[in-house]
Amino acid sequence: MQRKLLIGYVFANRRYLRKILQWSERGKIGDFAVEVIPIDAPEFLDENGHINPADLIAAMPGIDLTLILVGDDNTTHPWLNFEQAAKQLQLKRYIMRIPYTTGEIPIEFKSLRTVAYNPNAIDKLLRIQDEISEPRELV
């Protein structure tokens, strides 16, 4: 089964998004088939190239996991506009700190768990999610 991984990121950090896309394409995210969807994917953009909130929020229920990349400048992070909706929809969200960055994490993200920037961390999150969602037989 293919998993959908939504990535929230600041445009200046797009090279780190590309690295996650490479991990997925090369099968480095464990045994999972992972579709990596950036927050600015064409299906979420309006005719002017801006993120259409209604389209992104409508897609959230179908997302398995959301990673919010944080780096040195997070004050204008695009995900800030969607955190409240994601929280209401109980979207599984994690902070992924870009290596060697020290920028302040926005207060809206402080309650989210931080994971390492590597494919093994993503694999582990997807495995944990499977364990939680698998129905267990009562004996």
- Please report the pLDDT score of residue 138 as a whole number: 45
Look up residue 83 and give its two tokens: 């955190």
Residue 114 CB contacts under 8 Å (≥ 6 apart), including other chains: 94, 95, 96, 97, 105
Helices (H), 7-118: 14-25, 53-59, 83-88
Predicted confidence (pLDDT) per residue in 3-46, tens digit:
999 999 999 999 999 999 999 999 999 887 899 999 999 999 99
- Please report the pLDDT score of residue 132 as a whole number: 63
Average pLDDT of the residues in 107-122: 94
Phi, psi of 27, rounded to the nearest 5 degrees: 70, 30
Rounded to the nearest integer, the mean pLDDT of the chain is: 91
Query: For the stretch 28-40, what's the b/e string if a residue is b when 16 or more beta carbons lie within 10 angstroms of its beta carbon?
Result: ebeebebebbbbb
